[in-house]
Structure 1
């Protein structure tokens, strides 16, 4: 991934089986407490002509182009890297919680152990070394990737809309691929 590309998560919703391995991989890599998650997997029941099916949405911070967390933070603890990844400097955080309330995706949480905000940083320490984020590496069916959002959106099966997910004023950088691989 070269600099100045808008990086985001690419999710193949049709392939996800809801196993939660992405959540566990993220928790282990980030050494998160059991009750604290950066990545969540939600289940939706969708009616079809042939009956109801379960559809899963794996999601975390959307690394928005217009991040609400950044806009409301009084200590300027958030910044957007050149590649579009939204990073939180926890040293600057006072734990006021404004970012938690502002995020439309419930991606920011306050940690119980220190009272400060915390969120997915897309494993920038791995990305910067040419490696995949923990959630991507941990997915057994390979339904999560990181990619150049502008390029991915050129594919006919790519969308900013999916079951349980939609574009909003913050301009999230997640793309749903709407075909089974």
Structure 2
């Protein structure tokens, strides 16, 4: 991994805060919600990255993290052949949520630091899944350090780019993009 310790830029912050509050509320000792439904909320939490603050579905366009191959693919074929990957595998996020103290702060910290989508090509998704489908090459910790969050991509030598406007069709010159990892 590189020596720099950059932080992952978060998005859809308001939605993550609202989700954390809703889940924490369900886990109050006096909550009438059945445990089965409480745990269902934890399992669905990582999918929050597919929504924007205004609750619009943004599985691909609208996500800020893309690979160069995915950007090039999108310009020719749109979303067919692309995959919406979780930088930190959902299985690990769910485990952290289940093991947390279920407070609003703990839930929000996990969602904000670790729930980030990366748009990749089908081929890149297959490559990632062969070795790191539900594990990480580094120890998982609740941090927004780029080297931890995107460690699977670093290990597979897949460059990730941050799209400021979150729309690959707005990128005129691919050569001008600089990878974050």
TM-score between both structures, scaled by the size of structure 2: 0.25
Query: 1 or 2 for the larger relative contact order (CA 8 Å, sep ≥6)?
Result: 1
With normalisation by structure 1, the TM-score equals 0.25
Q: Between Structure 1 and Structure 2, which shows a larger proportion of helix residues?
A: 2
